[in-house]
Amino acid sequence: MATAKSVEITALDASPREVLETGSLEGRMRVASGTIAAGTGDIDNDDVLMMVQIPSNAKVLSIKLFNDDLDSNGSPTLAANVGLYYEDGTVLDEDCYATAITTLQAANTAGVEVAFEARNVNAVSNFAWEDGGLSSDPGGVLRIALTMSNVAATAAAGDVSVIVTYVVD
């Protein structure tokens, strides 16, 4: 019988015991949620829906997406990326969480998890700034946004909501 240890347990078992970064062992779970009443002019190719703001040192555990049917036709398929932007609206990485997802094409009231659609599952302990591809924490806040990567065949107005769960402190 084998026993495997995560990176965090290995650090805790080391002698001397290693100090783990905030959020990997303990931390405060936070939730950020946002809703946009998207009009048909808000979901054209390269349009951005800024959804929530999180600290750059947050560890994103979950991004749940809920939406009305924003594409009343099937071809081409409305698609979106989920990623990070700076507070001033400058893109950091528009698809670090999800790439060309078609969730917006049909009503979704149960919620779809998108935090790991594009991000590797071994990045669960990453800080948001690491998810965005940075080598150090810029401090401050980052924004999680949907960027339309393919236009709808027949755009329809509707609501888009996200619930983001993350750890800090």
Q: How confident is the model over 53-87, as pLDDT tens digits?
A: 999 999 999 999 999 999 988 677 899 999 999 99
Q: Give the DSSP H or E segment for 161.
A: strand 158-168
Query: Which residues lie below 8 Å from residue 88, measured CB to CB, with a gap of 6+?
Result: none
Q: Pick from 39, 55, 35: which is nearest to 47 by CA?
A: 39
Two structure tokens written together for 57: 């040192």
pLDDT in tens, 28-51: 999 999 999 999 999 999 999 999
Give the model's confidence band at 11: pLDDT under 50 very low, under 70 low, under 90 confident, else very high.
confident
pLDDT of residue 168: 93
- Domains, the chain, in order of start with CATH, read 27-168 (2.60.120)
